[in-house]
Amino acid sequence: MKIRDKGLLSLGLVVALIVVVAAGSALTPKSPSHKVVARVVGTYAAGARFPRTVIVAHAPHAIDAHGVFQEGDDENCNVGDVVDGTQTGITLKIDPYTCRRPSAYAESRK
């Protein structure tokens, strides 16, 4: 077998392996969605022409999520505020318009 043929065979096997892994991971069942409360861990301004405020929120056992306020929105989220969200597996989607200060009860449970 020529070196060129061995190289093509190796490349074909790698591509086949990647396709099998991708198909297998796409077919795994997702966890059901459930409501969570996430804590704002950061805020920043983005965009020069169309400015917007971006908040970064975190919930336990989830990937951090970003929420965006468009220019002129009156919402003012600060670090430490809590927002409502929906968690599916480790994916977190938040509603930045639910920003609120944590209650004294929630703070005492920490």
Task: Please write the tens of the pLDDT for every residue from 24-58.
Answer: 766 656 667 888 888 888 888 887 787 788 888 88
- Domain total in the chain: 2
> CB neighbours of 50 closer than 8 A, spacing ≥ 6?
70, 71
In a shared domain, residues 23 and 39: no
Q: How large is the average pLDDT for residues 53-81?
A: 79
In a shared domain, residues 19 and 42: no
In a shared domain, residues 74 and 48: yes
Tell me what pLDDT residue 14 has: 92
In a shared domain, residues 55 and 103: yes
In a shared domain, residues 7 and 39: no
In a shared domain, residues 49 and 77: yes
Tell me what pLDDT residue 105 has: 44
- Give the domain extent around 23: 1-29
Rounded CA gap, 93 and 78, in Å? 18
Tell me what pLDDT residue 15 has: 92
In a shared domain, residues 61 and 85: yes
Rounded CA gap, 63 and 31, in Å? 14
The whole-model pTM stands at 0.58
In a shared domain, residues 25 and 39: no
In a shared domain, residues 56 and 101: yes
Rounded CA gap, 43 and 68, in Å? 10
In a shared domain, residues 18 and 49: no
In a shared domain, residues 53 and 25: no
In a shared domain, residues 43 and 89: yes
